[in-house]
């Protein structure tokens, strides 16, 4: 492995994926691509970085040509709730950005491109426990872009030889960088509320069950799918990965066990509630388990404990 380029490296996932890749492949080989949002200090001082706006085809080609990465982790994205509020930006980043990165990969013989998909790639007609291969009719622009990314990935693999891979990530819970306007962000914000104020007002209803995953498992799933020996599997950019699944009231109950004075109230946001209601409760990830040995490490109780410990240190020193 010579070089790895990560786009969107200043985001929630990039801020933790880049240090993990640097620990594995050495600091100077992992280039953190950023656009407007600054990189965390850890990522900025830990190795090289480059400006890359994925909507700018010429810049994408120039950066990929100069780095000649073996792998690209393409994380740049406009997430679910933001995409509904700014369709123009979401189209440019989530559709054109994917195309620009894939074309640059073909032109520069990039071996593999990893494009994360999401539970948003499913819709209300998908069974509540989503099989790997099932009906995908998302009702939001973000979800449509994720189906596009999956299909483009599988198509580029067969049409051009660039090996495009991806996992359908659930909502990601982490403490280093706050999430950016997704639908599952409550499951991070609730910890800030608990630690700072002993209370939280949730924008999803108490019984909204969604699949979730702790960040270390998400990072492992991305590196795992990138490195897997997939042989001639017909799955490439479209693997379900599952970890935990809970409702806001179930998460509040686990937090309350640890912090009895914690209070949860609800003020439902219709936009995010509608998005959440169209997503499955959990993902059947047996294909990823069988084909490349996927297995998560964190369950609900261990995740809550780890979040409390690390976020308390971060917020209160």
Q: Which residues are catalytic?
A: 142
As measured in angstroms, the least distance from the Cβ of 199 to ligand NAD is: 23
What does the block give as tokens for 158? 């067969």
In the chain, what are the helix, strand and coil shares in percent, each to the nearest 5? Answer: 45, 15, 35
As measured in angstroms, the least distance from the Cβ of 6 to ligand NAD is: 10
User: In sequence order, which residues have a C-beta less than 8 Å from that of residue 202 and are 6 or more positions away?
Assistant: 186, 190, 248, 252, 264, 265, 266, 267
Q: Closer to ligand NAD by CB, 9 or 195: give it.
A: 9
As measured in angstroms, the least distance from the Cβ of 197 to ligand NAD is: 23
Q: Closer to ligand NAD by CB, 93 or 304: give it.
A: 93
What does the block give as tokens for 43? 């990522």
Provide the binding-site residues for ligand NAD, judged by CB under 6 A: 7-8, 10-14, 35-37, 52-55, 75-77, 79, 93, 116, 118, 169, 171-172, 179-180, 182, 184
Q: Closest CB to ligand NAD belongs to which residue?
A: 11
Q: Closer to ligand NAD by CB, 84 or 199: give it.
A: 84
Distance, CA of 198 to chain centre: 28
As measured in angstroms, the least distance from the Cβ of 75 to ligand NAD is: 4
198: phi > 0 → left, psi -120 to 50 → alpha, else beta; which?
left
Say how far apart CA 243 and CA 284 lie, in whole Å. 10
Say how far apart CA 187 and CA 1 lie, in whole Å. 36
Rounded to a whole number, what is the distance in angstroms from the first to the last CA of the chain?
38
Comparing CA positions, the residue from 137, 145, 148, 36 lying closest to residue 87 is 145
Question: What one-character DSSP code corresponds to residue 38?
Answer: P
What does the block give as tokens for 83? 């995409």
As measured in angstroms, the least distance from the Cβ of 261 to ligand NAD is: 28
Q: Closer to ligand NAD by CB, 10 or 278: give it.
A: 10
What does the block give as tokens for 181? 């306007």
Looking only at the bridges linking them, the beta strands covering 167-169 and 117-118 are parallel
Q: Closer to ligand NAD by CB, 83 or 255: give it.
A: 83
Say how far apart CA 269 and CA 202 lie, in whole Å. 9
Q: Closer to ligand NAD by CB, 197 or 299: give it.
A: 299
As measured in angstroms, the least distance from the Cβ of 113 to ligand NAD is: 12
């Amino acid at each position: 492995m010579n070089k790895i380029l990560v786009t969107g490296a200043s985001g929630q996932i990039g801020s933790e994926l880049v240090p993990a890749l640097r620990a594995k492949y050495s600091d100077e080989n992992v280039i953190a691509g950023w656009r407007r949002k600054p990189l965390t200090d850890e990522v900025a001082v830990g190795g090289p970085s480059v400006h890359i706006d994925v909507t700018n085809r010429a810049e994408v080609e120039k950066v990929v040509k100069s780095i000649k990465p073996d792998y690209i982790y393409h994380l740049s994205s406009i997430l679910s709730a933001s995409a509904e509020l700014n369709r123009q930006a979401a189209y440019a980043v989530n559709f054109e950005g994917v195309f620009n990165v894939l074309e640059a990969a073909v032109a520069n013989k990039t071996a593999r491109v990893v494009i994360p998909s999401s539970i948003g790639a499913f819709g209300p007609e998908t069974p509540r426990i989503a099989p790997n291969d099932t009906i995908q009719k998302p009702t939001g622009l973000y979800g449509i872009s994720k189906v596009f990314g999956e299909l483009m990935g599988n198509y580029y693999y067969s049409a051009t030889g660039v090996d495009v891979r991806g996992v359908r990530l659930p909502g990601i819970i982490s403490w280093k960088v706050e999430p950016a306007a997704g639908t599952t962000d409550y499951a991070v914000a609730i910890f800030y509320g608990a630690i700072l104020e002993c209370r939280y007002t949730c924008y999803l209803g108490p019984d909204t069950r969604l699949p979730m995953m702790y960040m270390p498992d998400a990072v492992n799933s991305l590196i795992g799918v990138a490195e897997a020996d997939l042989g001639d599997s017909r799955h490439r950019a479209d693997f379900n990965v599952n970890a935990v699944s809970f409702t806001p009231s179930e998460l509040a109950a686990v937090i309350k066990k640890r912090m009895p004075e914690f209070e949860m109230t609800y003020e439902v946001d219709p936009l995010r509630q509608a998005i959440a209601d169209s997503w499955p409760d959990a993902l059947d990830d047996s294909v990823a388990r069988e084909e490349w040995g996927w297995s998560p490490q964190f369950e609900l109780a261990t995740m809550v404990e780890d979040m409390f410990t690390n976020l308390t240190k971060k917020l209160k020193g």
